[in-house]
Chain A
Amino acid sequence: AQSVTQPDIHITVSEGASLELRCNYSYGATPYLFWYVQSPGQGLQLLLKYFSGDTLVQGIKGFEAEFKRSQSSFNLRKPSVHWSDAAEYFCAVGAGTGGFKTIFGAGTRLFVKA
């Protein structure tokens, strides 16, 4: 069955420190992969996406993610976290024809301490 796992429910990092949020997926074919961010009380905003090609993708707000087929992973990284990055982050897989059905992970809440 298709699934997305985000092993960390919440993570706390210091401002200026590096960040890595983990995501593993289960899907038979090469999926469409996404990271979304949700600020408190808001909808989800796309950070970045992977469809094909270069396995290291750049997104908005200084985020990047790397697709590793052998590990079925799509981890999100940022070299230096800002207090405004505190939010909930969702990894998602677009499955089926044209990625029609999107499967979301349970989310990782990021706390940033001064």
Chain B
Amino acid sequence: DVKVTQSSRYLVKRTGEKVFLECVQDMDHENMFWYRQDPGLGLRLIYFSYDVKMKEKGDIPEGYSVSREKKERFSLILESASTNQTSMYLCATRGEPGRQYFGPGTRLTVT
């Protein structure tokens, strides 16, 4: 089974802090994704990566950046956290066409 892990389940940060969310997968998938999930809005794509050091903006990239130095690891960076970035963050990889495998999520609170 594919395993996608995220570094933290819960995280509390202060406004203005730099925040790193880490995601690691063990299935050698090329494609990795970061979403944020908010009630009533479903999942919205922040960034995705289709290979090492390759990244593309998703639908809501503002205020975020990403890093993919190794195939198994995809990091989401909040350069200066703000309260409107309080959300659930989900990492996913893509295996067979269209199907995604999700990590357990990180619930981030910015105070």
Binding site for B on A (CB under 8 A): 4, 9, 32, 34, 36, 41-46, 49, 51, 90, 94, 98-102, 104-107
Contacts and interface: CB of A to CB of B under 8 A. Distances in A.
A100 B31 contact: yes
A9 to B, nearest CB: 7
A104 B43 contact: yes
B90 A51 contact: no
B57 to A, nearest CB: 12
A110 to B, nearest CB: 15
B8 to A, nearest CB: 13
B10 to A, nearest CB: 9
Nearest to B4: A43
Nearest to B43: A104
Nearest to A43: B102
Contact of B97 (A36, A94, A105, A107): A94
Interface in B29-77: 31, 33, 40-43, 45
A92 B40 CA distance: 15
Interface string B76-98: 00000000000000101010011
Q: How large is the interface on B (under 10, 10 to 19, 20 to 34, 35 or more residues)?
A: 20 to 34
Closest 10 pairs (CB-CB, A-B): A94-B98, A99-B98, A32-B98, A43-B102, A106-B42, A104-B43, A104-B42, A44-B102, A98-B97, A99-B97
Chain A contact surface mostly: strand
Contact of B99 (A4, A9, A34, A41): A34
A106 B98 contact: no
Contact of A49 (B4, B98, B104): B98
Given A90-B42, A105-B42, A106-B40, A45 B102 contact: yes
Contacts of B9: 41
Contact of B42 (A43, A45, A107): A107
Contacts of A94: 97-99
A100 B97 CA distance: 7
A5 to B, nearest CB: 10
B100 to A, nearest CB: 6
